[in-house]
Structure 1
Amino acid sequence: MSLIIGRDVPWNATWSGEDRHEIRPCRFAGNRLAIWSPFALGSGKPLFAKPHTVRQRKSISEMRCTVCGERTEFGNRWWWPRGSWRNDWWVSTEAPVHFACAELARHACPVLRKAGHDPIPFPEGEQVLFALVGGEDTDRDFGVKVNGRKVVGHLKLAWRAPWFLQEGS
């Protein structure tokens, strides 16, 4: 059986053939040094719980659906409100999805099924943050030598006062 990207495997998932890393400038991180992986969609086996570093940054910077990889537009921009509070900001690495893609993901993804949440319309007023990584943990986790530099890992979306958390408070 062949796996179809966007139906069986999310566009932003890493494939085993892409699972190597370097440090390079990344246009989706403002040309800062960032963790980089090669593009080889469909090469090897999908690593569902491991978003591809460059595609994740592209998803957030260009508001692309993490399931199909196409751009989302307001009116059809949905979101799984997963994240946490950090210094008065709600922060998440979750990029938007189309409604149909969210429905597909809810049925296909065991993590989303278990959580039992519905996607919500994408909140307005987001800011994009650069998640800086570095040190021994980064060297070990990505198999690269950062040499003390701070490099961008993933991008994050942040809201100062997200409406979806304030309702009913």
Structure 2
Amino acid sequence: MSGHYTLVVGSDVPWVTSWSGEQIVGAAPCQTVGGRLALMQASDPGSGKPQYSKNHLVRQRLTVVRMLCPMCGQPTDQGDRWTQIATRRCAGQLRARGGQVRADIADDRVMIDAGSIAPLHRRCVDRSMKYCPHLRSSDDVMVMRFPREWLVLPLLVKSETNAGVAVAFLQLCGVTQTIDRRWRAQAALG
């Protein structure tokens, strides 16, 4: 026995993780963003070494658009959607940063900014918290249910091969039913 261990995508390595053998191939229309120009990446999970700190461009967008668990790659149900690292922000803060938040969402509505990380199944949250050294050592981890309503905001980059911009990743923001009274008071003052 050689002692060789093979990493299993969706179990040992998150499904959304990019691998060193998956090269970025440029920008092209992509179905993950309704045919808009997007950065594209070869898909060959397991090829090379996992790049734990980098999401695969297309798989990341698929996790957000289809509400797939970034750990196992399977669909999440409404009652089993959890986030681990998210920041509470008011819609007004997201707008100020250039986020295209719908006009019907008040500036003081609290948003759960999950960044580029789609909700996970609870079992996948527990597994990742047990085995991921980054998550275990982070002070930013706060496991919470993901809201029933959400927004998807494209994160754009300037295309080198085209005159326009391309979607790199999708940012996911859950919409809560609460408002931030402190933010409302600050906005009223000036």
| Alpha-carbon shift at residue 84 of structure 1 (Å) | 6.6
Q: 1:94 aligns with which of 99, 110, 117?
A: 117
Q: Which amino acid aligns with 2:146?
A: F
- Per the normalisation by structure 2, the TM-score is 0.74
Paired with 1:18 and 1:83, the residues of 2 have a C-alpha distance of: 30
User: 1:83 touches 1:93 (CA, 8 Å); kept in 2?
Assistant: no
| Aligned counterparts, 1:8-157, within 5 A | 8-83=12-87, 85=89, 86-87=94-95, 88=107, 90-91=112-113, 92-115=115-138, 117-134=141-158, 145-157=160-172
Greater strand percent: which structure?
A: 2
- Per the normalisation by structure 1, the TM-score is 0.83
Q: Give the number of equivalent residue pairs.
A: 158
Paired with 1:131 and 1:157, the residues of 2 have a C-alpha distance of: 10
Larger radius of gyration: 2
Aligned-pair identity (%): 34
User: 1:134 touches 1:146 (CA, 8 Å); kept in 2?
Assistant: no
User: 1:66 touches 1:95 (CA, 8 Å); kept in 2?
Assistant: yes
Return 5+ residue gaps in structure 2 as ranges.
96-106, 184-190
Paired with 2:164 and 2:41, the residues of 1 have a C-alpha distance of: 18
Kindly report the root-mean-square deviation, in angstroms, between the aligned alpha carbons of the 2 structures: 2.4
